[in-house]
Amino acid sequence: MQKGLFITFEGTDGSGKTTQLNLIKEYLENKGFDCVVTREPGALDFGKKIRDILLNSDENISDNAEMFLFLADRAQHIDKFIKPALNDGKIVLCDRHVDSTLAYQGYGRNRDVEMLRKLNNIAVSGVIPDLTLLFDVSEENAAKRLDRVKDRMELSGKEFYNAVRRGYLLLQKEEPQRIKLIDANNSINIVYNISKELIDELISRKSGE
Ligand code: T5A
């Protein structure tokens, strides 16, 4: 049985989720919690190879191949890293997880979202995030923040970005208990304070169960 806590950080590219994940890690560690930070794709050696294909390949990767690569990375990551860490009682902070596939491959690439949910369920074999922080940012603000060389996914264009963003907002409406929406157009500090409150609420709720 799972003893730890599983918290995922989601949002479009440039939403600032990695910045917040690192701040939350420090916050929780200062409070004495045992945390591990991880990400999808590419947390493990197996996944690093997949990440390289997905983000850096010049090849014209088909939508199906892209979908299965993200899912393969997740299946291995859950089995070999996330599940064992949760069973050890750790707080797992994960940069992107199942909702990225629904938002990017589902709403972004127009693949059947219900089919993707089923495939996600196979990949995670019963492990569900206790909390998902969704960082929502406008396309203009994200573009300013990502003023660097773009990877293959980031080169998919404005229309794709907006479809992914809308997809995330739909996912949040469907699961408001698990997915908490944060306006990430705000400063790092404001976003951090909101994130901390949501994490504190989760911890006090879980410790009272
Ligand atoms: N993907 C992933 C799928 O399509 N399907 C899947 O199933 C999965 C798992 C992964 C790509 O793969 C896709 C989604 C992605 O396109 P990645 O390299 O892991 O790619 O990239 P991202 O997760 O998108 O991470 P990024 O680093 O691009 O963006 P973040 O994490 O949103 O942003 P962050 O925190 O690194 O910040 C970016 C910059 O903004 C500043 C930071 O200082 C930094 O300079 N910043 C702010 N500036 C102003 N105000 C704020 N509030 C700020 N917050 C951060």
> So what's the pLDDT on residue 3?
87
How much is the pLDDT for 162?
A: 93
Q: How many domains does the chain have?
A: 1
Q: How remote is the C-alpha of 102 from its chain's centroid?
A: 11
The ranges of the chain with pLDDT < 70 are 1-2, 149
Token look-up 């990949």 returns: 123
Kindly state if the Cβ of 136 falls inside 6 Å of ligand 1. Answer: no
C-alpha of residue 82 to centroid of ligand 1, in Å: 21
Is the Cβ atom of 195 under 6 angstroms away from ligand 1? no
> How do residues 60-118 score in pLDDT, each as one tens digit?
999 999 999 999 999 999 999 999 999 999 999 999 999 999 999 999 999 999 999 99
Q: What is the CATH number of the domain that holds 178?
A: 3.40.50.300
Task: Please spell the DSSP secondary structure of 18-72, one letter per residue.
Answer: HHHHHHHHHHHHHTT--EEEEESS-SSHHHHHHHHHHHH--S---HHHHHHHHHH
C-beta separation of 133 from 198 below 8 A = yes
pLDDT at 2: 65
Provide the residue range defining the domain that includes 155. 5-207
pLDDT the model gives residue 14 = 92
Q: What is the pLDDT of residue 109?
A: 94
pTM here? Answer: 0.96
